[in-house]
Amino acid sequence: MNATSRRRALVVLVVAAFAIAPLVGSRFTVTLLNDVGIAALVALGLVLLTGVGGATSFGQAAFVGIAAYATAWLTTVHGASPWLGLVFALVITGICALVIGAVTLRLGGHYLPLSTIAGGISIAIVFGNLESLGRHSGIAGIPAIRIGPWSLIDPRAAYVLIWILVGASLLFARNVLDSRPGRAMRGLRGGATLLASVGADAVRVRLSLFVVAALLAAIAGWLYAHKNRFVSPSPFDVRASIEYLLMAVVGGLGQLAGAVVGAAVVLLLKNALQDVLPLLSSGAAQIEAVVFAALFIALLHFARAGLSGWAVRWWRRRWPPASAVDTAALAGAEPLPRRTPPARGTRILEVDGATKRFGGLVAVDRVGFVVDAGEIVGLIGPNGAGKSTMFNLLTCTLPMTAGRVRFLGRDVTGRAQKEVARMGLARTFQHVKLRPQMSLLDNVALGAYARTGAGVLRAGFRLDRGDELRVRAEAWRQLERIGLVQRAHEPAGSLPLGTQRVLEIARALAADPVLLVLDEPAAGLRRREKDALAALLKRLRDDGVTILIVEHDMDFVMRLVDRIVVMNFGQKLAEGAPAQVRADPLVQDAYLGVAA
């Protein structure tokens, strides 16, 4: 049995178990499983937002509350159908998420969790003080969901709806993660600069993730309101949010299934403790919280990546995944549209009087040079010369204090990095920014972000398969180009540093760039790897890619480039062919300290 069919068998088993449960279990067991399903939806949102996107949110219960109150108000005060309530709840929650996210997601680090706590507390207080929402006593008598003539009051009927929604959400989430927006979301943990370098806006990607998580919570809220037929402010406060986060962590933030596992573990454990503890002690109720917390802590000691993370590790140890590759499909895919490469000799990049001041320190002082199509230009200089700063200036990662940069004839001074990236400037990083848990193929495919346009909705409903195939074929081709195609499905973190640098180049190439800018690509490479890299770069130049290399390994650069620009103390020292620059006494003085 190979890996795919084994996985498929597991999925079938799990689905069958869920299908049989309502027929076999008692009414109360089904009620409990319904609660698990609703909580799993919220936890799934957290797995996406916190697990994938790295944004810890203590406000998910507030979104559940907003949706629950929205549908409660619409169906009781205005007598609308619960299905209309669902639409209303989704719209209201989505708008709130957009507004809250737009304001708070710019905050990084610890500020984001705190602002979600702030939001969570405030929203619960607002619920409790609005007359129209029943203040603290809440809204009762909410109608049950009806499908045609059937009412979903019976827990077994509600079970079907709830778990179909859970299954659909899991599929949607998996589809999104497995596509263009998903790659960008998985790239969030690599930092905003990484995403900008492939033409994505980290803030917008995070916001879309935030809204998706909020909408999942909204579905949960709608189900909650119509299942309990009663809402009050207390189940939507910060403590409930903490409990959802607990579920997601215990289930495992690294897997989508962790949401279901976590919700099940927490709720079933609480129920079991409720049954078992009274047999052991008379003060059972107060002990329950203590025992639960102690078990929880023990579990996190034992399985830090959550239960599903532990299960996946065990599964992979027992049955190591084989890399099955469907080359036939990839070969048949239509290639992505390519930019027309500019004619040899066209001016691609023009830097004019670039200056960068950090307070009193002038890191780059009126430096100017050009890069023409079809050549390899090297930017060298001793340590502290300002090369990296210059690099960041011309890629628009840092704003210039003075001077101009023209790319492909257009003035890009002051533009954002992602705009320049979309115009055709691809870069690599001095400290490799790969996603270690994504496969080589996915990492390279991230580079092609700007070349297709599928959004979250199209991706979720699997309407982007055509584009996806083309992007993967492109990534495949780039991997072939750099000679790594046989390891396409391995995680990028398993590569040695030198190979990782080469992989970054492949990612940059996947963007179909006009200009490829490399930041110290030879650093940390061994002799043989450097030779291979030089050969690769020459091949690329012959293929029509213009390259600008920032390096400080003289040997490597001299044998490779067509022209060199030398910097020292922030100023341009010399420019010209390698031999000419080597013989320049100023350059020798800068590097060796003495005129040779």
Give the shortest CB-22-to-another protein separation in angstroms: 13
Using CB under 8 A as the criterion, what x/- string covers residues 37-66 for binding another protein?
A: -------------xx--x-x----------
- Cβ contact 346:370 at 8 Å: no
Asked if 263 interacts with another protein (CB under 8 A), we say: no
Phi, psi at residue 59, to the nearest 5°?
-120, 10
Q: CA 314, CA 164: separation in Å to the nearest integer?
A: 28
- Cβ contact 42:60 at 8 Å: yes
Asked if 106 interacts with another protein (CB under 8 A), we say: yes
Q: Please identify, among the stretches 2-10, 227-235, 478-486, 555-563, the one whose residues bind another protein according to the rule CB under 8 A.
A: 227-235
Using the minimum distance from each CB to another protein, give the nearer residue, 290 or 535.
290
Q: CA 136, CA 560: separation in Å to the nearest integer?
A: 74
Question: What count of other Cβ atoms lies within 10 Å of the Cβ of residue 517?
Answer: 23
- Cβ contact 181:208 at 8 Å: yes
Q: Please identify, among the stretches 243-251, 348-356, 458-466, 533-541, the one whose residues bind another protein according to the rule CB under 8 A.
A: 243-251
Residues 456-495 that bind another protein (CB under 8 A): none
Using the minimum distance from each CB to another protein, give the nearer residue, 78 or 136.
136
Give the shortest CB-286-to-another protein separation in angstroms: 5
Q: CA 171, CA 164: separation in Å to the nearest integer?
A: 11
Size of the chain, expressed as the number of residues it contains: 596
Give the shortest CB-115-to-another protein separation in angstroms: 5
Residues 179-198 that bind another protein (CB under 8 A): 188-194
Question: What count of other Cβ atoms lies within 10 Å of the Cβ of residue 415?
Answer: 15
Using CB under 8 A as the criterion, what x/- string covers residues 116-145 for binding another protein?
A: -xxx-xx--xx-xx-----xxxx-xx----
In the DSSP assignment, the letter for residue 81 is -
Using CB under 8 A as the criterion, what x/- string covers residues 311-330 for binding another protein?
A: -xx-----------------
Give the shortest CB-252-to-another protein separation in angstroms: 9
Asked if 234 interacts with another protein (CB under 8 A), we say: yes
Using the minimum distance from each CB to another protein, give the nearer residue, 137 or 327.
137
Using the minimum distance from each CB to another protein, give the nearer residue, 3 or 242.
242
Q: CA 575, CA 572: separation in Å to the nearest integer?
A: 8
Residue 104 CB partners (closer than 8 Å, separation 6+): 111, 112, 115, 116, 119
Residues 416-455 that bind another protein (CB under 8 A): 433, 436-437
Asked if 305 interacts with another protein (CB under 8 A), we say: yes
Using the minimum distance from each CB to another protein, give the nearer residue, 110 or 338.
110
End-to-end CA distance of the chain: 69
Residues 150-169 that bind another protein (CB under 8 A): 153
Contact pick of 152, 246, 426, 566 for another protein (by CB under 8 A):
246
- Cβ contact 330:441 at 8 Å: no
Using CB under 8 A as the criterion, what x/- string covers residues 283-302 for binding another protein?
A: xxxxxxxx-xxx-xx--xx-
Q: CA 561, CA 553: separation in Å to the nearest integer?
A: 12
Contact pick of 69, 88, 224, 591 for another protein (by CB under 8 A):
224
The full DSSP string for 544-566 is T-EEEEEE--HHHHHHH-SEEEE
- Mutual angle of helices 497-510 and 440-447, in 10-degree steps: 40
Contact pick of 28, 150, 319, 358 for another protein (by CB under 8 A):
28
Give the shortest CB-122-to-another protein separation in angstroms: 4
- The structure tokens listed for 106 are 């710019």
Using the minimum distance from each CB to another protein, give the nearer residue, 449 or 556.
449
Give the shortest CB-159-to-another protein separation in angstroms: 13
Give the shortest CB-224-to-another protein separation in angstroms: 8
Catalogue the long-range contacts made by 15-20 (C-beta closer than 8 Å, 24 or more residues apart).
15/167, 18/163
Residues 365-404 that bind another protein (CB under 8 A): none
Total binding residues toward another protein, as defined by CB under 8 A: 82
Closest of 101, 83, 93 to residue 41, by C-alpha: 93
Contact pick of 165, 249, 351, 479 for another protein (by CB under 8 A):
249
Using the minimum distance from each CB to another protein, give the nearer residue, 89 or 248.
248
Asked if 21 interacts with another protein (CB under 8 A), we say: no
Closest of 394, 392, 49, 54 to residue 190, by C-alpha: 54
- Cβ contact 436:492 at 8 Å: yes
What is the three-class DSSP state of 26? coil
